[in-house]
Chains A and B, each alone.
With several copies, the nearest count.
Chain A
Amino acid sequence: MDLNDTPEQAAYRARARAWLQENRAQAPVLSGPGALTEEAEIIAARRKWQGRLAEGGLAGVTWPEDYGGQGLGPVEQVIAGQEISRAGVPGILDAIGVGMLGPTIIAHGSEEQKARYLGPMLHGEEVWCQLFSEPAAGSDLAAIQTRARRAEDGSWVLSGQKVWTTNAQFASFGLLLARTDPDVPKHNGLTMFVVPMDAPGVTVRGLRQISGEAEFNEVFFDEVHLPADADVGGVGNGWRTALTTLMFERVTIGLGGEGLGYDPLRFARALLAAGAQRDPLVRKRLGEIAAELTAVRFTGYRVLTALQQGQIPGPEAGLAKVTTVNSAIAAGDLIAEVLGPDALASESEWAYMISFLPGLKSAGGTEEILRNTIGERVLGLPAEPRLDKGVPFSELRAKETAAQ
């Protein structure tokens, strides 16, 4: 058991640190004096910086070298993240593309797709977004209704709506899950597609959250035409392809507990500044929060150890998110009680956090669904009776509509 780098890891760390030392002056400034303020300017600068990071070997660390990656392991990816954070510079802009969608294309895409898309994705020239969730397909992802119909010439026509899409407002492409056959049970009739976000018929609309900010988007597809070879991984294989993406999502979540910025020290500093450090109630509550968040950090190291040994993290990795979100909610409660109503002032970082967390709780699957999955797949408990098994999707929909 060792938290230290192996010699190879130490060498990679040294290289990363040296590169950052040399190149950090090129990094966009996002806060403090001289910070960029315009959204468009920020995006442009971060895309450019992502390209530099990729050239420096600090993006796509686990991607194969053939596609511009480093061909290294998950520990090196974490080391890159640690060094970027240590240097005080922004990380890559398109974490979703590079972390989840690129690996999906590497696993299931055609050679033409890999050649066309991976390079510009890694270098931030083309940002990607993930088009899976729908208003009526959240927890039950396989219930999606966005429909792709085949035209006579083999091309596709896409209609429907996606939701909770990060980065859609400036993405070049999206990886989209659509229903191509409604007459088979719901997991069987799905196909994954590459969709150019500038295609006619694609509309992106910001979706404002409790805080008032548009953290996510809705994306509407109105008779969008896609070429015959736009599918990734084969027609009707969409569910299998999506599971690959979700597996990479889980890896990202498992390693990324700290990435959300819910650090016990940040909370402790706010409480110290308010002079609350001797209040026994504050101590009890902060102690519980800090203990849980510290646990999540070491759970991340355990996941990393498993990844290094070639194991794929199971769904239990999602429990780290449950812990993180619930601890951060408890921290928001505590800080609000200590600071009083000013913690809820519109410019307060705490008002932002308090507003953001309830939505985050459901993002990427509700806690309830996660607990079902873990109960069944990790603890081996029997599944709930499923009423939708083997039923053609079109029949299921008809039943629901009748019930309402």
Chain B
Amino acid sequence: MNLALSDEQVMLREAAREALSRVKTLEAARAALDGKQSLPDLWPTACEAGWPGLLIDEQHGGAGLDAFDAMLVAEECGRVLAGVPLLGHLAATAILSAAANATSFLPANASGERRAAYLPARPPADNDGAWSTERRSGLGREPVPAVGPTDGDGHAAVEGACAFVPDAPGAAVLVGAGERDGEIVAFAASSEQPGVQIEPVTRYDATRSLAHVTFAGAQAVILDCPIDALASAWHLAQALLAAESIGAVASALEVTVQYAKDRYTFGRAIGSYQAVKHQLTEVLRRMENGRSLLYYAGFAYRGAPAEFPLAAAAARCVAGGALDYAARAMISIHGGIGATWEHDAPLYFRRAQLSRLLLGGTEQATGRVAGEVFALAAR
């Protein structure tokens, strides 16, 4: 039993922090929101650091690391609200790595030359037997795209849509789940074809790259991979979002603690008041709980795959709540100034509000935790 980071993991984290510190990501986020300029492209930074290949094995040009390592990088990206399109890419490469017939794609994915994006497809749960994907608006879910018969080259036509796909704008390849004759199959489609439409959308948080993706007779490779890999990618995406969120909580906490030490009211630093102090310890409590669940998810991804859905969903549930709480505490402890455009707090707030609604939403993750626990209890 040892939950300490290895020396390599500490180095990975430090290197990520260092690489990201070279870009003024928060300033860029505010400027992008203002429509003044587009976000800096952080993909070259990611490629230089080797992040695109984190989950691809070494023989295919990757680093052959584990989900926990990917989460460490995601955490560092979240810490500075950096818009690095890793969430979609890493989940997609996890599927491609599991497919026997996708090995030829991997080197370009690993180097980052061809960026991939994951089409979120929620696997069945104890109370819902269907695979489903995001709807453009409102409650409820949509079926995953329909896949036609495979031709001689292993290709098939795809019809359907996925809404609010993270990191889809600019991705070269789209990887996800489709349905054929009542069975779920994995597919990979190049975005550079007329049958694929990627419609970028911005919602509230300019650092979050999103698109509605539509397939109209698009040609896709049917991946020879187990359905488990598709399900695992969904949970991996949840865990990465959780890691990002915990990173953002950590920096929001640092900034707010510092302000609470520096700002005086009624002759005392505001951090000496219980109302402020206890709010900040609540941020800490939620952050530490979230972080513990990141360890669980990181361990379970390969160490206990049957527990990975529980671990990832629990991490998302707790981390999402932590970020929402931390962003609101950041604003309220800063007083009025925390709600102004020039301050960083609104950027954390926007990050929290949108993150909560993506990839099925934090609420569905909470329901999944219950479902997994009910399943264990029923044994």
Contact = CB atoms under 8 A, between A and B. Distances in A.
Nearest to A210: B346
Interface in A349-394: 351, 354-355, 358-359, 361-363, 366-368, 371-372, 374-376, 378-388, 391
A340 B138 contact: yes
A272 B378 contact: yes
Contacts of B127: 277-278, 283
B34 interface: yes
Interface string A1-39: 111111001000000000000000000000000000000
Interface stretch (B103-111, B220-228, B277-285): B277-285
Nearest to B298: A1
B17 interface: no
Query: Max chain A CB contacts within 10 Å: which of B9, B265, B317, B361?
Result: B265
Given A279-B139, A319-B284, A381-B257, A362 B336 contact: yes
A53 interface: no
Contacts of B331: 210, 358-359, 361-362
Contacts of B325: none
B335 interface: yes
Q: Is the interface of B mostly helix, strand, loop or mixed?
A: helix
A271 B376 CA distance: 13
Given A277-B374, A366-B335, A387-B268, A337 B357 contact: yes
B261 A380 contact: yes
8 contacts: A3-B3, A268-B377, A276-B139, A288-B317, A344-B353, A368-B274, A371-B281, A381-B260
Interface of A: 1-6, 9, 75, 78, 133, 135-136, 138-140, 143, 163-164, 207-210, 212, 216, 264-265, 268-269, 271-272, 274-284, 286-288, 290-292, 294-299, 301-302, 304-305, 308-309, 316, 319, 322-323, 336-346, 351, 354-355, 358-359, 361-363, 366-368, 371-372, 374-376, 378-388, 391, 396, 399-400, 403-404
Contacts of B289: 292, 295-296, 299, 323
Query: Max chain B CB contacts within 10 Å: which of A143, A362, A396, A399?
Result: A362
Contact of A287 (B266, B341, B370): B370
B335 A362 contact: yes
Contact-size category for B: 35 or more
A75 B4 CA distance: 14
A340 B135 contact: yes
Nearest to A298: B292
B164 interface: yes
B269 A283 contact: no
Given A337-B363, A375-B271, A383-B272, A212 B339 contact: no
B24 interface: no
Given A3-B303, A288-B366, A319-B284, 6 more contacts: A140-B266, A276-B138, A304-B3, A340-B137, A340-B138, A381-B277
B335 A1 contact: no
B374 to A, nearest CB: 5
Contact of A290 (B280, B340, B373): B373
